[in-house]
Amino acid sequence: MPTQKLSYSDVTALGFMTLALFLGAGNIIYPPFVGRLTGEYYLIASVGFNLSGVLLPMLAVLVLAEKKGDPLAVCAPMGKFWGAALASSFYLFLGVFFASPRTATVSYEMGVRNFVADTPAYLLTYTAVFFFVVWLLALYPNRLLKTIGYVLAPLKLICLACLALYSVRSPVAPLISASGAASVKSFSDGVMNGYLTMDTLSALTFGVIVINSMKARGVTEKESIKRYAKTSVLFAGAGLVVIYLCLMKIGAGYGQTADFENGAQILRMFIVDNMGVTGTVFMAVLIYLACTVTAVGLTSSTASLFSQMFNIRYTVMLPLIVFASFLIANFGLTRLIGFSVPALSVICPACTTLILLSLFRVPARAIALPVWVSMAFSFYDAVLKPSGVSVAFLDKMPLSDVSLAWVLPAALSALLLLTKQKITSSAVSVSE
């Protein structure tokens, strides 16, 4: 039976859905703060931010498309056991322990908290309703293209389009004490903050939703999946670049009018000053839509993976995932952030290494060691170093001051294995 082609409306909805999945609350409040840090150099910062926060995650979706949406296949070079363990860790920390509970608490703090008192009862009520809606939307994964791509994503993007129009009214303020090296620092600030969104890791979860939506429409051939995945990431990538640029402009101008501590404060005050009282409602709606879409994507993809791994029905696994996120959002998020952030700081470099090596079609036998190397060096930076353990030569590694000391060792180990493999292949050819 020939593979069904997607209609133009489905292709457009797929692009909207991909864009909306990546635009969580964190992705909306990061760019304004980067703009505030870099001032008149915000355009240079945006280049760095988009390289690590847009290009790399979009490439990760393409790597997943190469494997027909199977995250276990992406992690297969690590071996059956360790590949499954690595994939599970990706999904557990995003879909259960950290990112998913945070979508509820962030939307509560930035939206509902403007209208109610800060009490555990209100938080409990809100998160119960929030995750009930998430469960309903994620209950039918084959319908996510309709619910997200055709409904939630357009609503979310309309709100962001309104915000983008208001950003034009924000003049760009010069960076205080700017120097000749400021442009280089602005670029590196952009790269680091784009990397810290951890969207490369999120891409392995959101990419599953995108590809499964294609399959639900009858697109099952590998080449067709890859073709539509390219279209959706081009659409989403272009949208992310424009939105991030507008948000950075707000930070570069309005963000320097006061001593703001984070992007959420910048965005909240900018909206209120430009939209008045209705700005508070607008902000609440925008953040709620952003968090809901992200939560649906995280819980749905996590439930899909574990139902596949343990041969448990999706409809049984989903409520377990959703309920765990609900409990953590109410009773353990603060402590889990202290545990999850270092863990994610170790897992994300492993994911980035795995994606880049897979993207460049490095043979499977040359992938596992670089991934382990990246995890070892990032474990030192994220866990041992903050605990007081100090190793002099590790502290002097290139990029160690920005927690990227793993990059060079991982690259060198990959190069060493590729060189060894090439020499071995040459020796075998000569002997024959």
Give the angle subtended at the CA of 205 by the CAs of 79 and 240, to the nearest 5°: 130
Please return the burial class of 427, using the count of CB atoms within 10 Å of its CB with bins 0-12, 13-18 and 19+: exposed
The whole-angstrom separation of Cα 99 and Cα 85 is 19
With beta carbons less than 8 A apart as the criterion, state whether 154 and 13 touch: no
Handedness of CA 50, 52, 58, 62 (dihedral sign): positive
Confidence band for 262, pLDDT divided at 50, 70 and 90: confident
- pLDDT for the residue 307: 92
- pLDDT for the residue 336: 66
End-to-end CA distance of the chain: 45
Least Cα distance to 62 among 200, 192, 220 occurs for 200
- Average pLDDT (305-326) is 93
Handedness of CA 411, 197, 203, 165 (dihedral sign): negative
* Residue range 109-132, pLDDT digits in tens: 888 877 887 788 888 999 999 999
- Average pLDDT (388-401) is 81
The whole-angstrom separation of Cα 205 and Cα 70 is 10
- Whether residue 388 is predicted with pLDDT greater than 90 in this model: the reply is no
The full DSSP string for 318-360 is HHHHHHHHHHHHHHTHHHHHHHHHHHHHHHHHHHHHHHHHHHT
Cβ neighbours around 52 below 10 Å, total: 20
- Whether residue 178 is predicted with pLDDT greater than 50 in this model: the reply is no
- Whether residue 431 is predicted with pLDDT greater than 70 in this model: the reply is no
- Average pLDDT (71-98) is 89
**Least confident interval from 16-25, 145-154, 170-179, 203-212:** 170-179
The full 3-state SS of 69-136, as one line of letters, equals CCHHHHCHHHCHHHHHHHHHHHHHHHHHHCHHHHHHHHHHHHCHHHCCCCCHHHHHHHHHHHHHHHHH
- pLDDT for the residue 301: 92
> What percent of the chain has a predicted confidence (pLDDT) above 70?
92
